[in-house]
């Protein structure tokens, strides 16, 4: 396999633009009663703060000015998206403009915040954008690539550096940005933001607590063909799809009639721009599942929450497990094995969406996924 800029690069068609649709009624969220109060920083949060300060110490004065935003800067707080540069312009420091030392320090910070699987997922999503950068056609086989890569009417074009495709879109690992809301601290709230095309990590820390709400993952391409062989570019997504279908296939007819809302897949409901909202639970409640099905539901939740470091994920999983009877599983889309379908998990302290995208060829190869904690976007329940 050919390596480009330290990232996996494989040839593949299929890049697209997308819209956000709201398929369920969303309401403004109130802080979750399942969240805990912030306290004095523990060893894990101290480790994250130290790694953040170590990264900041590698920056010039100009870079620090570019990467640090006030905790109250709402515009920066919501400046994240699944869109690539050329449609959506991020702020902060661009990966492509960092030195090797600064990149190493940033990855150390991400490794302190996330789990090993989470860090691997971030790198793989950046790998996937390297694939898009090096793809000539940019669309599905036989498709009109330029049409898919043209920004929608009114969208900004162009951006800093990188390889620009038709319509001024820019792909590649260089186009991922880091920023901070507030100053890294063991007492005051602050947020680490890292993301780009198909990735937005918003990690907010308040005392001993870290939340990834809201964070967008997914990726494109998920798999690619290299020298006649299928290569998995983003491993986390196929596992989520497999575990989601495993839960669905375990349901009996009565359970399926509640869990399956529609045979048509839908887009994210609480994606970018939908902060501070929640959804009424729908689908099959955990209380209507067998013990084995509840275990499978918990596995599906762990697939997403498991990108957070083990210390912070453990307390969240304990709360989720305690409320598993009040946690719902809903399915939109075809129910045959391997088919691309949307599913949602809604509980008192967790909301997960898994949303395949139709544009760009194979919809299972282009995903938008969300993680939120009702009432606790950007640590709102802790930072009051």
pLDDT at 20: 35
Q: Say if CB 169 and CB 149 are below 8 A apart.
A: yes
pLDDT at 44: 95
Q: Say if CB 250 and CB 363 are below 8 A apart.
A: no
Residues with Cβ within 8 Å of residue 293, at least 6 apart in sequence: 247, 250, 251, 255
pLDDT at 28: 63
Q: Say if CB 268 and CB 198 are below 8 A apart.
A: no
Task: Give CA separation, 360 vs 63, 86, 293, 356, 367, in Å.
Answer: 36, 18, 34, 11, 11
SS3 260: strand
Q: Residue 43 and residue 186: Cα distance in Å, rounded?
A: 10
Q: How many CB atoms lie within 10 A of CB 121?
A: 23
Backbone angles phi, psi at 324, to 5 degrees: -65, -30
In the block, tokens 């997403």 appear at 304
Q: Say if CB 223 and CB 239 are below 8 A apart.
A: no
pLDDT at 167: 53
Task: Give CA separation, 2 vs 15, 100, 173, 226, in Å.
Answer: 20, 21, 15, 10
Q: Residue 172 and residue 174: Cα distance in Å, rounded?
A: 5
Q: How many CB atoms lie within 10 A of CB 40?
A: 10
Q: What angle do CA 105, 107, 108 make, to 5 degrees?
A: 60
Strands 163-164 and 367-372: unpaired
Strands 93-94 and 328-332: unpaired
pLDDT at 40: 62
Beta bridge partners of 200: 195, 216
Burial 148-173 (b: 16+ CB within 10 A, else e): bbbbeeeeeeebeebebbbbbbbbbb
pLDDT at 361: 63
Residues across the chain = 384
- The segments of the chain whose pLDDT lies below 50 read 1-23, 31-38, 136-166
Q: Say if CB 62 and CB 129 are below 8 A apart.
A: no
Q: What angle do CA 91, 378, 63 make, to 5 degrees?
A: 30
Q: Say if CB 320 and CB 327 are below 8 A apart.
A: yes
Task: Give CA separation, 361 vs 203, 313, 380, in Å.
Answer: 32, 35, 38
- Tabulate helix, strand, coil % of the chain (nearest 5): 35, 20, 45
Prediction pTM value: 0.85
pLDDT at 135: 72
Please state whether the peptide bond connecting residue 118 to the residue before it is cis, i.e. omega within 30 degrees of 0: no
DSSP state of 359: T
Q: Residue 297 and residue 259: Cα distance in Å, rounded?
A: 12
pLDDT at 360: 57
Q: Is 72 exposed, middle or buried (0-12, 13-18, 19+ CB in 10 A)?
A: exposed
Of residues 5, 21, 121, 30, the one with CA closest to residue 374: 30
Of residues 20, 11, 10, 17, the one with CA closest to residue 146: 17
CA 247, chain centre distance (Å): 22
């Amino acid at each position: 396999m050919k390596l480009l800029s330290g990232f996996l690069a494989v040839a593949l068609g299929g890049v697209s633009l997308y819209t956000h649709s709201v398929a369920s009624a969303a309401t403004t969220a109130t802080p979750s009663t399942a969240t805990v109060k912030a306290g004095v920083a523990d060893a894990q949060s101290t480790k994250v703060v130290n790694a953040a300060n170590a990264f900041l110490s590698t920056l010039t004065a100009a870079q620090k000015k570019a990467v640090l935003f006030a905790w109250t800067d709402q515009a920066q707080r919501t400046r994240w998206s699944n869109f690539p540069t050329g449609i959506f312009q991020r702020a902060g420091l661009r990966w492509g403009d960092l030195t090797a030392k600064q990149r190493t320090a940033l990855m150390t910070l991400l490794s302190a915040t996330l789990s090993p699987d989470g860090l691997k997922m971030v790198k793989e999503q950046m790998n996937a954008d390297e694939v898009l950068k090096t793809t000539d056609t940019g669309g599905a086989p036989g498709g009109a690539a330029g049409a898919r890569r043209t920004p929608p009417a009114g969208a900004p074009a162009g951006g800093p550096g990188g390889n620009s495709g038709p319509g001024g879109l820019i792909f590649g690992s260089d186009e991922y940005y880091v920023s901070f809301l507030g100053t890294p601290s063991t007492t005051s709230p602050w947020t680490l933001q890292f993301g780009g095309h198909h990735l937005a990590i918003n990690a907010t820390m308040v005392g001993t607590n870290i939340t990834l709400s809201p964070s967008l993952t997914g990726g494109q391409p998920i798999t690619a063909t290299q020298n006649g062989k299928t290569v998995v570019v983003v491993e986390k997504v196929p596992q989520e799809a497999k575990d989601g279908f495993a839960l669905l296939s375990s349901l009996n007819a009565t359970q399926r009639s509640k869990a399956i809302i529609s045979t048509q897949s839908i887009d994210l409901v609480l994606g970018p721009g939908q902060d501070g909202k929640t959804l009424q639970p729908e689908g099959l409640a955990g209380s209507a599942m067998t013990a084995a099905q509840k275990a499978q539901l918990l596995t599906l939740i762990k697939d997403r929450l498991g990108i957070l470091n083990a210390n912070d994920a453990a307390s969240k999983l304990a709360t989720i497990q305690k409320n598993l009877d009040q946690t719902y599983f809903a399915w939109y889309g075809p129910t045959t094995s391997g088919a691309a379908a949307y599913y949602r998990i809604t509980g008192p302290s967790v909301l997960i969406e898994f949303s395949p995208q139709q544009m760009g060829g194979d919809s299972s190869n282009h995903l938008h996924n969300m993680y939120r904690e009702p009432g606790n976007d950007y640590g709102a329940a802790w930072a009051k």
